[in-house]
Structure 1
Amino acid sequence: MLVALAFAGSQAQAATPVAFDDFVYRGDDAAFATPLAKGQYRNPVLSGFYPDPAVTRVGDRYYLVNSTFAYFPGIPVFESEDLVHWRLLGHAIDRPGQLDFSGLGTSRGVFAPSIAHHGDTFYIFNTAVDNGGNFYVTAKDPAGPWSDPVWLKEVDGIDPSLFIDDDGKAYLLNNGPPEGTPRYAGHRAIWLQAFDLATGQPTGPRKVLLDGGVEPAKNPIWIEGPHIYRRDGWYYLSCAEGGTGPEHSQVVLRARSPWGPFEPYAHNPILTQRDLPADRPHPIANAGHADLVEGRDGRWWAVFLASRIYGEGHYQTGRETFLLPVEWRDGWPVILDAGQAIPQVANGPSWQRGDATQATRSGNFTWRDDFGAKTLDPEWISLRAAPAWADLRSQPGVLLISPRADGLEGHGLPAFLGRRQQHQRFEAQVRVQPPGEQGVTAGLALYQDEAHWYVLGVQRTARGLEVFVQKQTPEGRQVVAHRSIPAGAALHLRIQADAGLGDFAFDTGAGWQPLREREDIHVLSTDLAGGFVGVTVGPYARAEAAPFQED
């Protein structure tokens, strides 16, 4: 018999908090099984949904930021001594009042940050898409606190970045509409304007540095993510081109002045994976959006985004942060030759730390949260706002989540804590105390966006406790499996996935029992769902408008 859940929720009453504990995430990808020799590192260096990396060097340390879109806290700030091992310092958007993500879709919000340092100040420039426009925040300590946003007046477009020349003059770059009427869909331009560090605002006239892309006659699309670097008397303008999918690439031009004119490299792009055979082993695609940085030994390196794919371009792990050395050839930087695949194991910087492990940032690992701390682990993120509904203090060692009427399918504030899916093959499990009242769902959510998700949950009904698997797609919502379980039993829930197949199971004390096996979860792939994020997984509770109802 088909069973459905009745959602809507605005009339749902306040419900008793649901108790969760002992969350475990375990990843086991075959591509990560290759042992690392001394001096090697593994790509990606930040696995899972860490797109649009930007990096800066301060002394002998490196600082990196990523996009987070409508997730909170926003814009993680990482620190590294060797470009391989990254430590999360905090987030640039980490308190109410800095930005308002209310009502935004999952892939709106903060796009493509850039980071710079000058004097004693760190700068992060960014675009708040659909909630404010272009802005920057500052901090003396990269761990924070970061300032409230300073809005950039009359600067449209996206992807702002700051370039500070050797003479102290500063410039603001960004992607914006071209001059006049765009000639085709995806026709954009890279703009430059002087930036007054004293007033904190751009000044003077704006100029187009690059119209369309490096070969305008071919109608290139989505020139974006601009950065300028100075080396040996040349100014290098490097940008992403081709969109964020399989045609993504990185291009470079150079000039004798930051104002141009810029000459494109004859052998662009300097990074792409679009020219490789589809049947290659452990394929990586979507490579681009690079930022370059000089290492302490004088060698240059690039961080960039790419995606580990399976099947016909599918990926739930989102766009991840990769690292490769830069080779300078006749005065031009090259990240990867045409037709060459991104290596998943490579030789690291000469000063790389001696240990080969990259902990929970890359490779195979197990991550556990027993909820014994008084504050949430920074790996957890929530949708659109701080998780005021999460409580770690009332019962030490237990996460209490107050169910909310908002569901995953809307643009509200669902009671959902997610951690990034970092492997194609993984499992996530949690222990949950079944709700004591009808009309409350509690369980694990596997979430791509508001139109693509799964919930492995439990709900108390008039018939007793029911465990279920629910699926959301643009075609609607469906319970694909359910079963009655005994009252009073301790309940563990587990989701296992291997690429596009998912297994959903539960344990009431007699061992794991399958509820739904080999479920086709391709709908969670970013290439099918659209948008710019990857999958997150974690505890979820909702106050339903009604309990289970039979159709």
Structure 2
Amino acid sequence: MKRAWLIAALFGAAGAGPAAAQETAAPARFAWFDYRGEDGGPPSAGQYRNPILAGYYPDPSIVRVGRDYYLVNSTFAWFPGIPIWHSRDLVTWRQIGNAIDRQDQLDFAGITMSSGVFAPAISYHAGRFYIANTCVRCGGNFVITATDPAGPWSRPAWLPSVEGIDPSLFFDDNGQAWLVNNREPAGGSRYDGHRAIWIEEFDPKALAVKGNPKMIVDGGADPAARPIWIEGPHLIKRNGAYYLIAAEGGTSVNHSQVVFRADRIDGPYTPAPADVNPILTQRDLPPGRPDPVSAAGHADLVELPDGRWQAVFLATRPYAEDYYNIGRETWLLPAAWEGGWPRILPHGATAPRIVTRPLPAAGEAPPQTGSLTAHDEFDGSALPLNWMTMRGAKVTVAGGELRLSPGDRLGASGKPAFAARRQQHIVATAETELRAPPAPNSSAGLAALQNDDYFLTIAAVARDGRLFIRAARRAGPKEPEAGVTLAERAIAATGPIRFRISARAGRYDLAYALNGHWTTLAGDVDGTNLSTATAGGFVGTMIGPFAERN
């Protein structure tokens, strides 16, 4: 559930963050990175596997331009932020850019990893792409634009008068533009989680609202039931009627999607009947069911050229109770219109994993779901598009290697030298090679991290003129910034050192290799510290190389 402190702090200034000390140690040099994930065999011809974007890809928003589909996700305080995806079949997605890829756009310094950019909404009108978004604790609501969805995207046009979160833009048939978002209800909240949806006319040339906000939904689909956290609104138009879809119930197991309808853009909006709403949820399924899908909601709808509709939404795959480490993922299902209302799933139905393709397969791209392998050689001049750093930390890719200058510790709430990609599978393995032992009084290795306070590491540690391999775990802010040592072993090495982290649901193995011989330093480690249920927040586990000062 989104906490009240996030709403209260939307427009607060970002903290200064810890000051970085002068760094003189030689950088740690990583030669390559391998990722492998297991999720069953490939689906049959004409079918696809959910989720379509596995791992930490929440809050999807989608737009169609001709035969092309574009999709964006939340990234919070990870940088670069807001991945831009392209597809022509809604199943095969290629990342073509990041909307937030320059430090002059947003500053994430001093904020928590689950602050930052929330629920981006992408739209298109008259040759221009728009993303409406909120930077929580780093500026508030804003709009950015681009003529090419791959970028570059503009610096934010801030909307200082727009309180709340989750703005999205709608362009009517006459070109008139409107902004809808989650705000405090008129007269104030009557209970914890009581929010409202407001609409306001928007000037797409000036990138500013016109100052005529109107509340169109108070609380949710059934106000008498005191619904919570109505958010993520999107407007669509069909057969002359306006439909407002929104998430409701919080981001955990009670998540859902509801729909309202109006004859006028500014309402009044009537909720769908109780036998229709919610149009998507998994909260009505029994606990303890096998292979559960949970927390389904935050949907967006898109019309295909032939008049059919599809829905993208987020959901989770817990491995036990409500424990999941890989975050909220992007799913795809048909949206059927029945009796004038859209329906994504009938009440009591499980979100299916294997589904018939909505369109013929078109194009190829690196797989983002199912069993897969990925190998990064760091042979360019920048990180791959799907890699990120914490709050925009500086890293270097050059000479066919990733170079990380030891700096802030992972647990110091700063900008550590840590570059990572998402853990996308419940069963997964990540490996990397450090080309030489780290500089004196520094550490370098591999981390699986949920946020500053919750992570696992295996690293080479240069200390007191000796070299050690150390496995560590951090499970809360009261533990040391470098984590609690699980095991440590002195080694003699002058050449490459390999590191491996293997995940099996909530258990992890931490291993290293010298001269090709693997040793498990810490096996069967409790990895539930990487779960959202333990660590809190809205992100997912990221895995990658790091370097830090001892």
2:24 is matched with 14
Cα drift, residue 463 of structure 1: 6.0
Cα distance in 1, alignment partners of residues 516 and 175 from structure 2: 68
Paired residues of 1:434 and 1:460 also in contact (CA < 8 A): no
| 2:306 maps to 1:297 | yes
Query: 1:43 maps to which residue?
Result: 50
Q: Are the counterparts in 1 of residues 438 and 460 from structure 2 also a CA contact under 8 Å?
A: no
Give the SS at the match of 1:286.
strand
Is the contact between residue 312 and residue 333 of structure 2 (CA under 8 Å) also seen in structure 1?
yes
Q: Aligned equivalents of 2:41 and 2:290: distance in 1?
A: 13
* Alignment partner of 2:491 out of 485, 488, 503: 485
Q: Verify the 8 A CA contact 1:288 1:306 in the aligned structure 2.
A: yes
Q: Is the 8 A contact 1:434 1:459 kept in 2?
A: no
The corresponding residue for 1:134 is 141
Paired amino acid for 1:245: S
Q: Which structure has the higher relative contact order (CA within 8 Å, separation 6+)?
A: 1
Contiguous gaps of at least 5 residues in structure 2: 1-17
Q: 1:117 to 1:219 in 2, by over 3 A?
A: same
2:200 alignment partner AA: Q
Aligned pair partner of 2:338 in 325, 329, 333: 329
> Residues of 2 paired with 1:510 and 1:348: CA distance?
43
Q: Alignment partner for residue 533 of structure 2, among 527, 535, 540?
A: 527
- Separation (CA, whole Å) in 1 of partners of 2:439 and 2:56: 36
Q: Alpha carbons of 1:539 and 1:168: their partners in 2 closer, same or farther (altered >3 Å)?
A: same
The residue aligned with 1:443 is 445
Partner of 1:151: 158
Superposed displacement of residue 366, structure 1: 0.7
Match of 1:414 among 407, 416, 422: 416
Q: CA deviation at 1:83?
A: 0.9
Partner amino acid, structure 2, of 1:316: N
- CA distance, structure 2, for counterparts of residue 252 and residue 20 of structure 1: 49
User: In the superposition, relative to structure 1, how do residues 491 and 113 fare at CA in structure 2: closer, same or farther (>3 Å)?
Assistant: same
* 1:5 match: none
Per the alignment, do residues 358 and 500 of structure 1 end up closer, same or farther by CA in structure 2, a change over 3 Å counting? farther
The answer to whether residue 400 in structure 2 is matched with residue 397 in structure 1 is: yes
Q: Work out the CA distance in 2 between the residues paired with 1:530 and 1:301.
A: 31
Q: Which residue of 1 aligns with 2:360?
A: 352
Q: CA RMSD in A?
A: 1.6
Offset of residue 422 of structure 1: 0.1
Contact map agreement 1:39 1:354 (CA 8 A) in 2: no
CA distance in 1, matches of 2:178, 2:347: 32
Deviation of 1:513 after TM superposition, in Å, equals: 0.9
1:527 Cα shift? 1.8
Report Cα offsets for 1:164-223 as digits up to 9, x if no partner: 111111111010000112110000000001112232211142111100001111110000
Q: Please point out which of 279, 295, 302 is paired with 1:286.
A: 295
Q: 1:318 to 1:194 in 2, by over 3 A?
A: same
Q: Write the letter of the residue equivalent to 2:506.
A: G
Alpha-carbon distance between aligned partners in 2 of 1:413 and 1:273, rounded to the nearest angstrom: 37
TM-score, length basis structure 2: 0.93
Percent identity over the alignment is 48
Give the whole-Å Cα distance in 1 for the aligned partners of 2:217 and 2:444: 52
1:13-32 matched pairs, under 5 angstroms: 13-29=23-39
Task: Give the structure 2 partner of residue 549 of structure 1.
Answer: none
Residue 355 of structure 2 aligns with an amino acid whose one-letter code is A
> Would you say the 8 A contact 2:508–2:524 is kept in 1?
yes
Q: Answer yes or no: is the 8 Å Cα contact 1:189–1:223 preserved in 2.
A: yes
Alignment of 1:543 onto 2:549:
yes
Determine the structure 1 residue equivalent to 2:431. 429
- Work out the CA distance in 2 between the residues paired with 1:244 and 1:161: 19
SS in 2 for 1:205: coil
> Does structure 2 conserve the Cα–Cα contact (< 8 Å) formed by 1:174 and 1:224?
yes
Using the alignment, how far apart are the partners of 1:247 and 1:436 within structure 2?
47
Aligned residue number for residue 8 of structure 2:
none
Q: Which residue of 1 aligns with 2:15?
A: none
The reply on whether 1:233 has 2:240 as its aligned counterpart is yes
Q: Please state how far the C-alpha of 1:538 moved relative to its aligned partner.
A: 0.2
The letter for the 1-side match of 2:230 is I
Q: Is the 8 A contact 1:84 1:352 kept in 2?
A: no
- Could you say which residue in structure 1 is the equivalent of 2:283? 274
Aligned ranges for residues 219-230 of structure 1 at < 5 Å? 219-230=226-237
Q: 1:152 to 1:13 in 2, by over 3 A?
A: closer
Distance 1:10 1:143 in 2: 33
1:456-484 deviation line (CA, Å, top 9, x unaligned): 10112236210011111224131011111
Aligned partner of residue 166 in structure 1, secondary structure: coil
Decide whether aligned partners of structure 1 residues 182 and 392 sit closer, same or farther in structure 2, where only a CA change above 3 A counts.
closer
- Mean Cα deviation higher: 533-542 or 371-380: 371-380
The 3-state SS of whatever aligns with 1:392 is: strand
Q: Is residue 153–residue 201 contact of structure 1 (8 Å, CA) maintained in 2?
A: no
Deviation at 1:444, TM superposition (A): 0.3
* Residues 398 and 359 of structure 1: CA distance in aligned 2, closer, same or farther (over 3 Å): closer
- Name whichever of 44-53 and 9-18 sits farther off: 9-18
Letter in 2 for 1:269: P
* Aligned ranges 1:100-139 → 2 under 5 Å: 100-139=107-146
Instruction: Specify the alignment match of 1:3 in structure 2.
Output: none
How far 1:283 sits from its partner (Å)?
1.2
Q: CA deviation at 1:436?
A: 4.9
Deviation at 1:371, TM superposition (A): 1.6
Which residue is equivalent to 1:548?
none
Indicate conservation of the 8 Å contact 1:38/1:354, yes or no.
no
TM-score (norm 1): 0.93
Aligned residue pairs, count: 527
Q: CA deviation at 1:500?
A: 0.3
Structure 1 contact 223–240 (Cα < 8 Å) conserved: yes
1:470 counterpart SS class: strand
Structure 1 CA distance for aligned equivalents of residues 548 and 305 of structure 2: 51
Q: Separation in 1 of the partners of 2:415 and 2:252?
A: 29
Deviation at 1:280, TM superposition (A): 2.5
CA–CA distance in 2 between the matches of 1:76 and 1:448? 19
Does the Cα contact within 8 Å between 2:140 and 2:160 map onto a contact in 1? no
Distance 2:173 2:421 in 1: 41
